[in-house]
């Protein structure tokens, strides 16, 4: 599911900022590379929401791309300053 990778991107970005530990930057880049390779739909836009066991697009859970929240958050969160809430963070 796309949301797992999107949440991983956000978590790794926050942990990298908060701790300064390079391992989180490594994970951040790895999650983005995986998302770019398998989830981001360069032909039709948006992210594919589900993959099968060989990382091909699937629709076992739902059909289409009904959720943009997670992909949007993955792209926005790394740009924001650390704060108590995402909703209250000032935009860059």
CA neighbor of 39 nearest in space, from 87, 78, 81, 4:
4
Please indicate, yes or no, if residue 86 is contained in any of the structural domains.
no
89 in a structural domain: no
Residue 57 counted as domain residue? yes
Rounded average pLDDT over 75-88: 80
For residue 71, is it within any domain?
Answer: yes
Looking at the 3D structure of the chain, how many domains does it have? 1
- Summarize pLDDT for 38-79 with one digit per residue, the tens: 999 999 999 999 999 999 999 998 787 777 888 888 888 888
Give pTM, 2 decimals. Answer: 0.85
Tell me, what's the pLDDT at 72?
A: 85
* 84 occurs within a structural domain: no
């Amino acid at each position: 599911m796309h949301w797992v990778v999107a949440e991983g991107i956000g978590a790794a970005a926050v942990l990298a900022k908060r701790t300064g530990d390079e391992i989180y930057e490594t994970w951040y880049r790895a999650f983005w590379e995986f998302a770019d390779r398998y989830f981001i739909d360069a032909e039709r836009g948006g992210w594919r929401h589900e993959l099968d066991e060989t990382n091909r697009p699937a629709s076992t859970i739902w059909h289409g791309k009904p959720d943009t929240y997670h992909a949007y958050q993955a792209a926005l969160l790394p740009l924001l300053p650390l704060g108590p809430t995402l909703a209250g963070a000032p935009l860059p």
